[in-house]
Chains A and B, each alone.
Chain A
Protein backbone atom coordinates (compact mmCIF):
# COMPACT_ATOMS: atom_id res chain seq x y z
CA UNK A 1 0.00 0.00 0.00
CA UNK A 2 1.38 3.35 -0.97
CA UNK A 3 1.19 5.59 2.04
CA UNK A 4 1.31 8.75 -0.03
CA UNK A 5 -2.17 7.95 -1.21
CA UNK A 6 -3.28 9.57 1.99
CA UNK A 7 -1.61 12.91 1.46
CA UNK A 8 -4.00 15.77 1.72
CA UNK A 9 -3.77 18.35 -1.01
CA UNK A 10 -1.66 21.47 -0.60
CA UNK A 11 0.87 20.03 1.80
CA UNK A 12 3.23 20.54 -0.99
CA UNK A 13 6.54 20.34 0.77
CA UNK A 14 6.18 17.00 2.41
CA UNK A 15 7.33 14.02 0.46
CA UNK A 16 5.36 13.52 -2.67
CA UNK A 17 7.41 10.77 -4.13
CA UNK A 18 5.67 7.88 -5.79
CA UNK A 19 6.56 5.06 -3.47
CA UNK A 20 6.20 2.39 -6.10
CA UNK A 21 9.43 3.71 -7.55
CA UNK A 22 11.27 3.37 -4.29
CA UNK A 23 12.41 -0.17 -4.76
CA UNK A 24 14.05 0.50 -8.06
CA UNK A 25 17.56 0.39 -6.81
CA UNK A 26 19.12 -2.96 -7.12
CA UNK A 27 20.01 -4.06 -3.61
CA UNK A 28 20.66 -7.60 -4.74
CA UNK A 29 23.44 -10.11 -4.50
CA UNK A 30 25.62 -10.72 -7.53
CA UNK A 31 24.16 -12.61 -10.42
CA UNK A 32 20.63 -11.65 -9.42
CA UNK A 33 18.12 -10.48 -11.92
CA UNK A 34 16.39 -7.14 -11.73
CA UNK A 35 13.32 -6.18 -13.64
CA UNK A 36 13.51 -2.76 -15.26
CA UNK A 37 10.36 -0.84 -14.30
CA UNK A 38 10.42 1.04 -17.59
CA UNK A 39 10.77 -1.76 -20.15
CA UNK A 40 10.19 -4.87 -18.00
CA UNK A 41 13.42 -6.47 -19.23
CA UNK A 42 15.16 -8.77 -16.76
CA UNK A 43 18.64 -7.42 -16.24
CA UNK A 44 21.67 -9.01 -14.68
CA UNK A 45 22.62 -6.95 -11.61
CA UNK A 46 26.30 -6.99 -12.41
CA UNK A 47 25.68 -5.77 -15.98
CA UNK A 48 23.53 -2.96 -14.63
CA UNK A 49 26.13 -1.83 -12.14
CA UNK A 50 28.78 -1.75 -14.83
CA UNK A 51 26.41 0.39 -16.84
CA UNK A 52 26.15 3.06 -14.05
CA UNK A 53 22.80 1.73 -12.83
CA UNK A 54 21.23 2.44 -16.21
CA UNK A 55 19.08 -0.18 -17.94
CA UNK A 56 21.16 -1.73 -20.72
CA UNK A 57 18.03 -2.20 -22.80
CA UNK A 58 16.04 1.06 -22.57
CA UNK A 59 18.32 3.50 -20.77
CA UNK A 60 16.11 3.84 -17.68
CA UNK A 61 18.13 5.58 -14.96
CA UNK A 62 17.86 3.76 -11.63
CA UNK A 63 18.53 5.67 -8.45
CA UNK A 64 22.08 6.05 -7.21
CA UNK A 65 23.20 6.64 -3.66
CA UNK A 66 25.46 9.56 -2.78
CA UNK A 67 28.72 7.59 -2.69
CA UNK A 68 28.07 5.94 -6.06
CA UNK A 69 27.39 9.33 -7.58
CA UNK A 70 30.51 10.89 -6.05
CA UNK A 71 32.52 8.06 -7.59
CA UNK A 72 30.82 8.71 -10.92
CA UNK A 73 31.56 12.43 -10.95
CA UNK A 74 34.91 12.97 -9.25
CA UNK A 75 38.52 12.09 -10.00
CA UNK A 76 39.72 9.03 -8.14
CA UNK A 77 40.45 9.65 -4.44
CA UNK A 78 40.00 13.41 -4.82
CA UNK A 79 36.86 13.81 -2.69
CA UNK A 80 37.47 15.42 0.72
CA UNK A 81 34.34 15.32 2.77
CA UNK A 82 33.07 18.24 4.89
CA UNK A 83 31.11 17.95 8.14
CA UNK A 84 31.05 14.18 8.05
CA UNK A 85 30.00 13.91 11.69
CA UNK A 86 27.26 16.52 11.68
CA UNK A 87 24.07 14.80 12.74
CA UNK A 88 20.44 15.71 13.28
CA UNK A 89 18.78 15.97 16.64
CA UNK A 90 15.13 15.43 17.36
CA UNK A 91 14.62 19.15 17.89
CA UNK A 92 10.83 19.02 18.21
CA UNK A 93 10.84 15.82 20.22
CA UNK A 94 8.73 14.35 17.44
CA UNK A 95 7.30 10.87 18.09
CA UNK A 96 9.43 8.03 16.68
CA UNK A 97 11.82 10.38 14.92
CA UNK A 98 14.82 9.20 16.94
CA UNK A 99 14.21 5.69 15.71
CA UNK A 100 13.66 6.83 12.13
CA UNK A 101 16.98 8.67 12.17
CA UNK A 102 18.79 5.74 13.75
CA UNK A 103 17.36 3.37 11.14
CA UNK A 104 18.37 5.67 8.30
CA UNK A 105 21.90 5.94 9.64
CA UNK A 106 22.17 2.19 10.02
CA UNK A 107 20.75 1.50 6.56
CA UNK A 108 22.90 4.00 4.70
CA UNK A 109 25.99 4.37 6.83
CA UNK A 110 25.48 8.13 6.41
CA UNK A 111 24.65 10.75 9.03
CA UNK A 112 22.28 12.80 6.87
CA UNK A 113 20.58 13.02 3.49
CA UNK A 114 23.41 14.95 1.86
CA UNK A 115 27.15 14.39 1.50
CA UNK A 116 29.22 17.53 0.92
CA UNK A 117 32.86 18.11 0.14
CA UNK A 118 35.56 19.39 -2.16
CA UNK A 119 36.75 17.37 -5.12
CA UNK A 120 38.43 17.43 -8.49
CA UNK A 121 36.58 16.88 -11.75
CA UNK A 122 39.12 16.30 -14.54
CA UNK A 123 41.48 18.24 -12.31
CA UNK A 124 39.08 21.16 -11.76
CA UNK A 125 38.52 22.11 -8.15
CA UNK A 126 34.84 22.14 -7.14
CA UNK A 127 32.61 22.00 -4.10
CA UNK A 128 30.19 19.09 -4.52
CA UNK A 129 26.96 18.33 -2.63
CA UNK A 130 25.20 15.05 -3.36
CA UNK A 131 21.87 14.14 -1.85
CA UNK A 132 21.08 10.57 -0.90
CA UNK A 133 17.73 9.00 -1.88
CA UNK A 134 18.21 6.22 0.68
CA UNK A 135 18.31 8.54 3.70
CA UNK A 136 14.63 9.25 4.59
CA UNK A 137 13.98 9.74 0.87
CA UNK A 138 16.45 12.59 0.61
CA UNK A 139 14.21 14.75 2.76
CA UNK A 140 15.56 18.08 3.96
CA UNK A 141 16.41 18.04 7.62
CA UNK A 142 18.06 20.89 9.49
CA UNK A 143 21.47 19.34 9.07
CA UNK A 144 20.87 18.83 5.35
CA UNK A 145 20.31 22.58 5.07
CA UNK A 146 23.22 23.33 7.37
CA UNK A 147 25.66 21.19 5.39
CA UNK A 148 24.60 22.70 2.07
CA UNK A 149 24.81 26.21 3.54
CA UNK A 150 28.31 25.54 4.87
CA UNK A 151 29.38 24.11 1.53
CA UNK A 152 28.23 27.27 -0.28
CA UNK A 153 29.88 29.51 2.29
CA UNK A 154 33.12 27.56 1.90
CA UNK A 155 32.91 27.86 -1.89
CA UNK A 156 32.27 31.61 -1.65
CA UNK A 157 35.27 32.10 0.63
CA UNK A 158 37.51 30.01 -1.58
CA UNK A 159 36.22 31.21 -4.98
CA UNK A 160 35.06 27.78 -6.02
CA UNK A 161 32.18 26.67 -8.24
CA UNK A 162 29.50 24.47 -6.69
CA UNK A 163 27.82 21.39 -8.15
CA UNK A 164 24.75 20.08 -6.32
CA UNK A 165 23.04 16.80 -7.24
CA UNK A 166 19.50 16.80 -5.88
CA UNK A 167 17.15 13.97 -5.05
CA UNK A 168 14.47 14.64 -2.49
CA UNK A 169 11.00 13.81 -1.34
CA UNK A 170 10.79 17.34 0.06
CA UNK A 171 10.79 18.73 3.55
CA UNK A 172 11.25 16.53 6.62
CA UNK A 173 7.96 16.64 8.49
CA UNK A 174 9.54 15.49 11.75
CA UNK A 175 11.60 18.67 11.89
CA UNK A 176 8.58 20.88 11.27
CA UNK A 177 9.24 24.57 10.81
CA UNK A 178 13.00 24.00 11.19
CA UNK A 179 12.94 22.02 7.96
CA UNK A 180 11.04 24.83 6.22
CA UNK A 181 13.58 27.40 7.38
CA UNK A 182 16.35 25.49 5.59
CA UNK A 183 14.84 26.62 2.30
CA UNK A 184 15.50 30.25 3.24
CA UNK A 185 18.87 29.51 4.79
CA UNK A 186 20.25 27.61 1.79
CA UNK A 187 18.81 30.20 -0.62
CA UNK A 188 20.67 32.92 1.26
CA UNK A 189 23.95 31.05 0.93
CA UNK A 190 23.33 30.38 -2.78
CA UNK A 191 22.60 34.09 -3.32
CA UNK A 192 25.85 35.18 -1.68
CA UNK A 193 27.79 32.68 -3.77
CA UNK A 194 26.02 33.95 -6.88
CA UNK A 195 26.64 37.62 -6.01
CA UNK A 196 30.34 36.76 -5.72
CA UNK A 197 30.24 35.88 -9.43
CA UNK A 198 30.73 32.17 -8.92
CA UNK A 199 29.19 29.34 -10.90
CA UNK A 200 26.52 27.04 -9.49
CA UNK A 201 25.43 23.97 -11.46
CA UNK A 202 22.46 21.89 -10.33
CA UNK A 203 21.95 18.30 -11.40
CA UNK A 204 18.37 17.20 -10.77
CA UNK A 205 17.85 13.48 -10.38
CA UNK A 206 14.79 11.33 -9.82
CA UNK A 207 12.84 12.51 -7.86
CA UNK A 208 13.43 16.17 -7.00
CA UNK A 209 10.36 17.61 -5.31
CA UNK A 210 8.87 19.89 -2.67
CA UNK A 211 11.04 22.18 -0.60
CA UNK A 212 14.23 21.25 -2.43
CA UNK A 213 12.68 22.13 -5.79
CA UNK A 214 11.39 25.37 -4.26
CA UNK A 215 14.86 26.35 -3.07
CA UNK A 216 18.40 25.44 -4.11
CA UNK A 217 17.46 22.94 -6.86
CA UNK A 218 15.96 25.73 -8.98
CA UNK A 219 18.60 28.34 -8.14
CA UNK A 220 21.48 27.10 -10.32
CA UNK A 221 23.03 29.23 -13.06
CA UNK A 222 22.85 26.08 -15.14
CA UNK A 223 20.27 23.42 -14.35
CA UNK A 224 20.76 19.90 -15.70
CA UNK A 225 18.62 16.83 -15.19
CA UNK A 226 18.94 13.12 -15.73
CA UNK A 227 16.50 11.68 -18.27
CA UNK A 228 12.93 11.05 -17.19
CA UNK A 229 13.51 12.28 -13.62
CA UNK A 230 10.42 13.45 -11.77
CA UNK A 231 10.86 17.18 -11.18
CA UNK A 232 8.02 18.78 -9.30
CA UNK A 233 6.99 21.19 -6.62
CA UNK A 234 3.86 19.25 -5.73
CA UNK A 235 4.08 15.60 -6.67
CA UNK A 236 1.61 14.00 -9.09
CA UNK A 237 -0.48 12.34 -6.39
CA UNK A 238 -1.04 15.56 -4.49
CA UNK A 239 -2.08 17.30 -7.70
CA UNK A 240 -4.42 14.50 -8.76
CA UNK A 241 -6.13 14.72 -5.40
CA UNK A 242 -6.38 18.50 -5.52
CA UNK A 243 -7.80 18.80 -9.03
CA UNK A 244 -9.37 15.35 -9.20
CA UNK A 245 -8.26 14.48 -12.68
CA UNK A 246 -5.68 12.19 -14.21
CA UNK A 247 -2.44 13.83 -15.24
CA UNK A 248 -0.89 13.52 -18.69
CA UNK A 249 1.65 10.70 -18.94
CA UNK A 250 4.84 12.72 -19.23
CA UNK A 251 3.79 15.46 -16.81
CA UNK A 252 6.64 16.63 -14.57
CA UNK A 253 9.34 14.56 -16.25
CA UNK A 254 12.71 16.20 -16.93
CA UNK A 255 11.78 16.39 -20.60
CA UNK A 256 8.47 18.12 -19.75
CA UNK A 257 10.18 20.63 -17.47
CA UNK A 258 12.78 21.29 -20.20
CA UNK A 259 9.98 21.98 -22.67
CA UNK A 260 8.35 24.39 -20.20
CA UNK A 261 11.59 26.32 -19.90
CA UNK A 262 12.76 25.54 -16.38
CA UNK A 263 15.94 23.55 -17.01
CA UNK A 264 18.82 23.90 -19.47
CA UNK A 265 19.42 20.33 -20.58
CA UNK A 266 18.61 16.69 -20.02
CA UNK A 267 21.88 14.78 -19.76
CA UNK A 268 22.40 11.02 -19.69
CA UNK A 269 24.31 9.68 -16.73
CA UNK A 270 27.21 8.52 -18.91
CA UNK A 271 27.64 12.10 -20.18
CA UNK A 272 27.16 13.86 -16.86
CA UNK A 273 30.78 14.30 -15.80
CA UNK A 274 32.00 15.50 -19.17
CA UNK A 275 29.06 17.91 -19.48
CA UNK A 276 29.80 19.45 -16.09
CA UNK A 277 33.51 19.67 -16.92
CA UNK A 278 32.64 21.38 -20.21
CA UNK A 279 30.46 23.91 -18.37
CA UNK A 280 33.21 24.55 -15.83
CA UNK A 281 35.66 25.17 -18.70
CA UNK A 282 33.19 27.53 -20.37
CA UNK A 283 33.26 29.56 -17.17
CA UNK A 284 37.07 29.70 -17.16
CA UNK A 285 37.61 27.19 -14.40
CA UNK A 286 40.58 25.04 -15.30
CA UNK A 287 42.55 22.08 -14.11
CA UNK A 288 45.03 22.80 -11.35
CA UNK A 289 47.57 20.62 -13.13
CA UNK A 290 47.69 23.08 -15.99
CA UNK A 291 48.84 25.89 -13.75
Chain B
Protein backbone atom coordinates (compact mmCIF):
# COMPACT_ATOMS: atom_id res chain seq x y z
CA UNK B 1 0.00 0.00 0.00
CA UNK B 2 1.43 3.37 -1.00
CA UNK B 3 1.41 5.85 1.83
CA UNK B 4 1.70 9.56 2.09
CA UNK B 5 5.16 10.37 3.40
CA UNK B 6 3.59 12.08 6.39
CA UNK B 7 3.15 8.60 7.80
CA UNK B 8 6.92 8.49 8.28
CA UNK B 9 7.28 11.94 9.87
CA UNK B 10 7.26 13.04 13.50
CA UNK B 11 4.72 15.81 13.44
CA UNK B 12 5.76 17.17 16.82
CA UNK B 13 9.27 17.81 15.53
CA UNK B 14 8.10 20.41 13.01
CA UNK B 15 8.61 23.15 11.88
CA UNK B 16 12.01 22.06 10.58
CA UNK B 17 15.09 24.24 10.85
CA UNK B 18 16.06 24.31 7.17
CA UNK B 19 16.19 27.45 5.03
CA UNK B 20 13.66 27.88 2.25
CA UNK B 21 14.94 26.21 -0.90
CA UNK B 22 17.40 23.94 0.89
CA UNK B 23 17.99 20.55 -0.75
CA UNK B 24 17.70 18.69 2.56
CA UNK B 25 13.91 18.53 2.29
CA UNK B 26 14.16 16.94 -1.15
CA UNK B 27 16.60 14.37 0.22
CA UNK B 28 14.25 13.62 3.11
CA UNK B 29 11.35 13.14 0.68
CA UNK B 30 13.40 10.85 -1.55
CA UNK B 31 14.52 8.67 1.34
CA UNK B 32 10.97 8.31 2.68
CA UNK B 33 9.56 7.50 -0.77
CA UNK B 34 12.22 4.83 -1.21
CA UNK B 35 11.31 3.35 2.17
CA UNK B 36 7.63 3.44 1.30
CA UNK B 37 8.26 1.72 -2.03
CA UNK B 38 10.07 -1.04 -0.14
CA UNK B 39 7.27 -1.21 2.45
CA UNK B 40 9.73 -1.41 5.32
CA UNK B 41 8.35 -1.61 8.83
CA UNK B 42 9.11 1.59 10.76
CA UNK B 43 10.11 -0.42 13.83
CA UNK B 44 12.94 -2.10 11.98
CA UNK B 45 14.58 1.07 10.74
CA UNK B 46 17.37 2.86 12.54
CA UNK B 47 18.37 6.17 11.01
CA UNK B 48 21.58 7.64 12.33
CA UNK B 49 23.19 10.97 11.45
CA UNK B 50 26.17 13.10 12.38
CA UNK B 51 26.12 16.87 12.85
CA UNK B 52 25.16 19.48 10.28
CA UNK B 53 22.01 20.83 8.65
CA UNK B 54 21.50 17.61 6.70
CA UNK B 55 22.04 15.50 9.81
CA UNK B 56 18.97 17.10 11.38
CA UNK B 57 16.95 14.74 9.16
CA UNK B 58 16.89 12.11 11.89
CA UNK B 59 14.89 14.36 14.22
CA UNK B 60 12.00 14.53 11.76
CA UNK B 61 11.40 10.88 10.94
CA UNK B 62 9.41 8.34 12.89
CA UNK B 63 12.03 5.59 13.15
CA UNK B 64 14.60 4.65 15.78
CA UNK B 65 16.80 7.67 15.30
CA UNK B 66 20.00 9.15 16.55
CA UNK B 67 21.64 12.49 15.83
CA UNK B 68 25.15 11.64 17.01
CA UNK B 69 28.40 13.62 17.15
CA UNK B 70 30.12 15.33 14.22
CA UNK B 71 31.53 12.76 11.80
CA UNK B 72 30.81 9.74 13.99
CA UNK B 73 27.47 8.49 12.70
CA UNK B 74 29.01 5.45 10.98
CA UNK B 75 30.68 3.94 14.06
CA UNK B 76 27.49 4.50 16.11
CA UNK B 77 25.56 2.75 13.34
CA UNK B 78 28.17 -0.02 13.23
CA UNK B 79 27.53 -0.74 16.92
CA UNK B 80 23.78 -0.90 16.35
CA UNK B 81 24.08 -3.16 13.30
CA UNK B 82 26.50 -5.52 15.05
CA UNK B 83 24.29 -5.72 18.12
CA UNK B 84 21.12 -6.22 16.09
CA UNK B 85 21.81 -7.33 12.50
CA UNK B 86 18.04 -7.52 11.87
CA UNK B 87 17.75 -3.74 11.89
CA UNK B 88 17.90 -1.81 8.67
CA UNK B 89 20.42 0.90 9.38
CA UNK B 90 20.55 4.11 7.33
CA UNK B 91 23.20 6.75 7.92
CA UNK B 92 22.76 10.34 6.76
CA UNK B 93 25.76 12.67 6.67
CA UNK B 94 26.77 16.03 5.25
CA UNK B 95 29.81 16.29 2.99
CA UNK B 96 31.93 17.77 5.76
CA UNK B 97 30.59 15.34 8.32
CA UNK B 98 31.35 12.32 6.13
CA UNK B 99 34.55 13.29 4.37
CA UNK B 100 36.42 15.60 6.77
CA UNK B 101 35.94 14.77 10.44
CA UNK B 102 34.33 11.43 9.58
CA UNK B 103 36.60 10.49 6.68
CA UNK B 104 38.41 7.79 8.56
CA UNK B 105 35.17 6.17 9.74
CA UNK B 106 33.84 6.31 6.19
CA UNK B 107 36.71 4.34 4.65
CA UNK B 108 36.68 1.83 7.49
CA UNK B 109 32.95 1.22 7.30
CA UNK B 110 33.44 0.59 3.58
CA UNK B 111 36.45 -1.64 4.26
CA UNK B 112 34.40 -3.79 6.64
CA UNK B 113 31.61 -3.92 4.10
CA UNK B 114 29.10 -3.81 6.93
CA UNK B 115 25.46 -3.70 5.87
CA UNK B 116 24.72 0.01 6.28
CA UNK B 117 23.51 2.53 3.74
CA UNK B 118 25.44 5.79 3.80
CA UNK B 119 23.63 8.75 2.29
CA UNK B 120 25.85 11.78 1.86
CA UNK B 121 24.14 15.09 1.25
CA UNK B 122 26.84 16.89 -0.70
CA UNK B 123 26.10 20.60 -0.76
CA UNK B 124 29.85 21.19 -1.17
CA UNK B 125 30.03 23.36 1.94
CA UNK B 126 29.72 23.42 5.70
CA UNK B 127 26.14 24.65 5.76
CA UNK B 128 25.37 24.72 9.45
CA UNK B 129 28.45 26.68 10.49
CA UNK B 130 27.88 29.28 7.80
CA UNK B 131 29.74 28.38 4.61
CA UNK B 132 33.31 27.27 5.30
CA UNK B 133 34.85 25.09 2.56
CA UNK B 134 34.71 21.32 2.94
CA UNK B 135 36.77 18.49 1.41
CA UNK B 136 34.07 18.33 -1.29
CA UNK B 137 34.17 22.02 -2.22
CA UNK B 138 35.56 22.03 -5.75
CA UNK B 139 38.94 23.71 -6.29
CA UNK B 140 38.54 27.32 -7.27
CA UNK B 141 35.16 27.75 -5.59
CA UNK B 142 34.58 30.01 -2.64
CA UNK B 143 33.76 29.60 1.01
CA UNK B 144 33.88 31.95 3.99
CA UNK B 145 37.24 30.38 4.85
CA UNK B 146 38.32 30.35 1.20
CA UNK B 147 37.60 33.99 0.33
CA UNK B 148 40.28 33.97 -2.40
CA UNK B 149 39.21 30.65 -3.89
CA UNK B 150 39.65 27.12 -2.59
CA UNK B 151 43.13 25.71 -3.30
CA UNK B 152 42.38 22.22 -1.90
CA UNK B 153 41.68 19.31 -4.21
CA UNK B 154 38.27 17.82 -3.54
CA UNK B 155 37.59 14.17 -2.82
CA UNK B 156 35.69 12.01 -5.26
CA UNK B 157 33.50 10.05 -2.84
CA UNK B 158 32.54 7.52 -5.48
CA UNK B 159 36.17 6.58 -6.08
CA UNK B 160 36.95 6.72 -2.38
CA UNK B 161 34.11 4.40 -1.40
CA UNK B 162 34.86 2.02 -4.25
CA UNK B 163 38.56 1.80 -3.43
CA UNK B 164 37.82 1.36 0.28
CA UNK B 165 35.67 -1.72 -0.29
CA UNK B 166 31.98 -0.77 -0.53
CA UNK B 167 29.47 -3.04 -2.29
CA UNK B 168 27.27 -0.44 -3.91
CA UNK B 169 28.16 3.12 -4.92
CA UNK B 170 25.96 5.65 -6.68
CA UNK B 171 25.62 9.38 -7.13
CA UNK B 172 22.40 11.29 -7.70
CA UNK B 173 21.15 14.84 -7.34
CA UNK B 174 18.23 16.66 -5.76
CA UNK B 175 17.19 17.75 -9.25
CA UNK B 176 16.84 14.24 -10.69
CA UNK B 177 14.32 12.92 -8.17
CA UNK B 178 13.00 9.73 -9.74
CA UNK B 179 16.43 8.32 -10.55
CA UNK B 180 17.53 9.35 -7.05
CA UNK B 181 14.73 7.37 -5.42
CA UNK B 182 15.67 4.26 -7.38
CA UNK B 183 19.35 4.63 -6.49
CA UNK B 184 18.42 4.90 -2.82
CA UNK B 185 16.16 1.86 -3.09
CA UNK B 186 18.92 -0.20 -4.65
CA UNK B 187 21.31 0.91 -1.94
CA UNK B 188 18.78 -0.02 0.77
CA UNK B 189 18.34 -3.46 -0.74
CA UNK B 190 22.06 -4.11 -1.00
CA UNK B 191 23.56 -6.51 1.51
CA UNK B 192 26.85 -4.77 2.34
CA UNK B 193 28.10 -1.22 2.61
CA UNK B 194 26.19 0.96 0.17
CA UNK B 195 26.80 4.61 -0.61
CA UNK B 196 24.60 7.20 -2.28
CA UNK B 197 26.13 10.62 -2.69
CA UNK B 198 23.50 13.24 -3.40
CA UNK B 199 24.52 16.53 -5.00
CA UNK B 200 22.37 19.05 -3.14
CA UNK B 201 21.92 22.79 -2.88
CA UNK B 202 22.63 25.19 -0.08
CA UNK B 203 21.57 28.55 -1.44
CA UNK B 204 22.34 30.28 1.84
CA UNK B 205 25.96 29.31 2.27
CA UNK B 206 27.28 27.83 -0.96
CA UNK B 207 25.04 29.80 -3.28
CA UNK B 208 25.84 33.15 -1.74
CA UNK B 209 29.59 32.56 -1.85
CA UNK B 210 29.46 31.32 -5.43
CA UNK B 211 27.20 33.76 -7.23
CA UNK B 212 24.02 31.72 -7.12
CA UNK B 213 21.61 33.65 -4.98
CA UNK B 214 18.50 31.49 -5.16
CA UNK B 215 17.43 27.88 -4.90
CA UNK B 216 16.06 27.74 -8.48
CA UNK B 217 19.37 29.08 -9.76
CA UNK B 218 21.21 26.41 -7.84
CA UNK B 219 18.92 23.64 -9.05
CA UNK B 220 19.47 24.75 -12.64
CA UNK B 221 23.22 24.63 -12.00
CA UNK B 222 22.88 21.13 -10.56
CA UNK B 223 20.80 20.06 -13.56
CA UNK B 224 23.32 21.47 -16.02
CA UNK B 225 26.42 20.15 -14.32
CA UNK B 226 25.20 16.56 -13.87
CA UNK B 227 26.02 14.18 -16.71
CA UNK B 228 25.63 10.44 -17.26
CA UNK B 229 28.63 8.10 -17.40
CA UNK B 230 28.29 7.83 -21.17
CA UNK B 231 28.56 11.58 -21.64
CA UNK B 232 31.26 11.81 -18.97
CA UNK B 233 33.54 9.35 -20.76
CA UNK B 234 33.68 11.56 -23.83
CA UNK B 235 34.47 14.77 -21.95
CA UNK B 236 37.97 16.24 -21.89
CA UNK B 237 39.60 16.86 -18.47
CA UNK B 238 38.92 20.56 -18.93
CA UNK B 239 35.23 19.91 -19.64
CA UNK B 240 34.98 17.61 -16.60
CA UNK B 241 35.79 20.48 -14.27
CA UNK B 242 32.65 21.57 -12.46
CA UNK B 243 30.65 18.67 -13.92
CA UNK B 244 29.36 15.67 -11.98
CA UNK B 245 28.88 12.22 -13.28
CA UNK B 246 25.74 10.66 -11.88
CA UNK B 247 24.36 7.13 -11.86
CA UNK B 248 25.49 3.80 -10.52
CA UNK B 249 29.20 3.03 -10.32
CA UNK B 250 29.55 -0.16 -8.34
CA UNK B 251 27.24 -3.04 -7.58
CA UNK B 252 29.05 -6.18 -6.44
CA UNK B 253 28.35 -9.15 -4.21
CA UNK B 254 30.85 -9.90 -1.48
CA UNK B 255 30.89 -11.17 2.11
CA UNK B 256 29.11 -8.85 4.52
CA UNK B 257 30.56 -8.12 7.95
CA UNK B 258 27.76 -9.20 10.31
CA UNK B 259 27.41 -12.45 8.35
CA UNK B 260 31.16 -13.03 8.60
CA UNK B 261 30.96 -12.35 12.32
CA UNK B 262 28.18 -14.89 12.70
CA UNK B 263 30.66 -17.38 11.27
CA UNK B 264 33.25 -16.26 13.81
CA UNK B 265 30.74 -17.01 16.56
CA UNK B 266 30.10 -20.43 15.08
CA UNK B 267 33.81 -21.17 14.82
CA UNK B 268 34.51 -19.97 18.36
CA UNK B 269 31.73 -22.09 19.79
CA UNK B 270 32.94 -25.19 17.98
CA UNK B 271 36.63 -24.78 18.52
CA UNK B 272 36.91 -23.19 21.93
CA UNK B 273 39.81 -21.23 20.48
CA UNK B 274 43.17 -21.42 22.18
CA UNK B 275 41.92 -23.23 25.23
Instruction: Say if A and B assemble together.
Output: no
